[in-house]
Structure 1
Amino acid sequence: SNDVLEVTLRHIYSDESYDLGEDPGLIKDGVEDHLQRYLAEQIERIGKGAKLVRREYPTAIGPVDIMAIDANGEHVAIEIKRNGGIDGVEQLTRYCKLLNRDPLLAPVHGIFAAQTITPQARVLAQDRGFRCLILDYEEMKGVEDDSLRLF
């Protein structure tokens, strides 16, 4: 088209530039991968005597975040979310149904682990026989809480 936008500056109040240093890019802390890594390193958070089998345990419908063995020698599939909702419980349900068909793994129990879990997801998870585990990211990564210290 022949449209023209004409801009006229009548007065310049300031013309300065500031060096902000090198752009570090977007760094997201506390993503599911971090939670998964920390829980795998601290697998006894799911129970004393627990042992890690594998992170990203492969199945025909996608990888289970963590596969572990509990103190009783039974397999535990762990689904990790930052914010646990019903969709995460459904995902864990699909994994457990599939894994329980394998006689070498069954019985496979489920743990739904997240930083926060909605009340609806907690009810659904417990109704399906899954344990819910709240993950404290700061504690898991080793950041100390100084709020209760005198010195």
Structure 2
Amino acid sequence: MKRIASFEVNHDKLKPGMYTSRIDGDITTYDIRMVYPNAGTYIQPAAGHTFEHLFATYARNSKFADQIIYCGPMGCQTGFYFLVRDMKPSDAIALVQESMAFIAAYEGEIPGASRIECGNYLLHDLAGAKQLAASMIPVLEGWKEENLIYEK
């Protein structure tokens, strides 16, 4: 079987940040790496679940709503994938930065977190999601297009 691109990334060198994982035509997949891989600290499922709800809500209500394809957690619990269509990298970076600020400051009910709206509505942690987003704000401060490339 052909090896997939994300397994070609040297996870021993991967640091928290935002990277271009792949480009497929007009769709770009970004790797939003939030913790160091294989370092023993991982995104807790409840915090990641809440982060996903808030990130998706913010991004899909932004001026780029029609260009958002998907935002979802990595199985390794070290980050999220963010897929967009026809979006300039600088706009994607800005949207991720804005989303982190929104989540870090969020107060209120978690969007889409009722039994009717969510398949695991009891698995949420707003404080954890806020802490996760707040930890990314300084990481992504000043992030530029040239930072989107994985270190070899």
Smaller-chain TM-score bracket: 0.3 to 0.5
Specify which structure has the higher proportion of strand: 1
TM-score (norm 2): 0.32
Specify which structure has the higher proportion of helix: 2
